[in-house]
Amino acid sequence: MERPIGMFDSGFGGLTVARALIDLLPAEDLVYIGDTGRYPYGSKPLDDVRDYARELAWSLVDDYDAKAVVVACNTATAAGLDELRAELPVPVVDVIRPGARALVATTTTGRVGVIGTVGTVSSGAYIRAVAEMGVPVSLASAACPGFVEFVERGQTTGDEVMVLAERLLAPIVDADVDSLLLGCTHYPFLARTIGDVMGPNVTLVSSADETAFAVRDRLDESGLLRAVAGASSVPRGRHRFASSGDIEVFRDLGGRLLGPELDQTEPWPPAAP
């Protein structure tokens, strides 16, 4: 019996990471929990977010037998990664370090930016992650309260998003960066608007692909990567999605955002066996 990769986010944002993971490792089984019943995380005290993250991560291990946990949420990573790594019996992959790596690899001028939730930006997690890499870059950061709510409502383009983006991104535009990391997993869904505001000379960097590579490497190192017989007969993994909020809303909007793999949603927490 193959064990799935478990992942979670406050809502729909982690689907950007799920998409990259499904594309990179199509044979792996996946369980995704969107905590839409308690979103947003970004405006909540980090202590509360840490409690949610521990509850979700342990549920992935205990209820779904996950062989690894992907914290597909920057805010939850900033709040609780160290605790999750210390206490979970499976490998834990976050989105902040992979994102920071991708950002530093992209810049040519050394002037970079990161945007995220209030919780992520005020935690200083990206400043630490970039500093740990020892690459001399100057990092401008800005919190973007309101972006996540637009995505959760399924409103990813339009005048209202544009007006908010112009206001919130102004300090990053002023910092004259050449690369901007979308340091919240919801933000790639707003990439068109963010890209329009930043202009054609700024490269938008998402942590999704880099995180998927990190998951593959961690599974490989731990001997947990699903063995695939021959390239021509790759079995498709089973993809399960669960939500602590309205499961029909999650299925409908999630399916639009992720694609056809998300055609059903189960309630979380799961019913006791």
Q: For ligand DGL, how many residues bind (rule: CB under 6 A)?
A: 18
CB 219 within 8 Å of CB 7:
no
The greatest distance separating any two alpha carbons of the chain, rounded to the nearest whole angstrom, comes to 56
Stretch touching ligand DGL by CB under 6 A, among 3-11, 172-180, 231-239, 255-263: 3-11
Closest CA to 210 of 53, 97, 59: 97
Active site residue 73: yes
C-alpha to C-alpha distance for 191 and 204, rounded to whole angstroms: 8
Residue 73 is a binding residue for ligand DGL (CB under 6 A): yes
Alpha carbon distance, N-terminus to C-terminus of the chain: 18
Near ligand DGL in 184-203, by CB under 6 A: 184-186
240 lies in the site for ligand DGL, by CB under 6 A: no
- Between 102 and 121, how does the x/- string for binding to ligand DGL read (CB under 6 A)? --------------xx--x-
Could you say whether residue 179 binds ligand DGL (CB under 6 A)? no
Nearest-angstrom CA–CA distance, 112 and 11? 27
70, 184, 202, 247: which one is catalytic? 184
Q: Does 211 engage in binding with ligand DGL (CB under 6 A)?
A: no
Helices (H), 46-180: 46-62, 74-87, 96-106, 118-123, 125-132, 147-152, 159-174
Binding site for ligand DGL (CB under 6 A): 9-11, 13, 39-42, 73-75, 116-117, 120, 148, 184-186
Active site residues: 73, 184
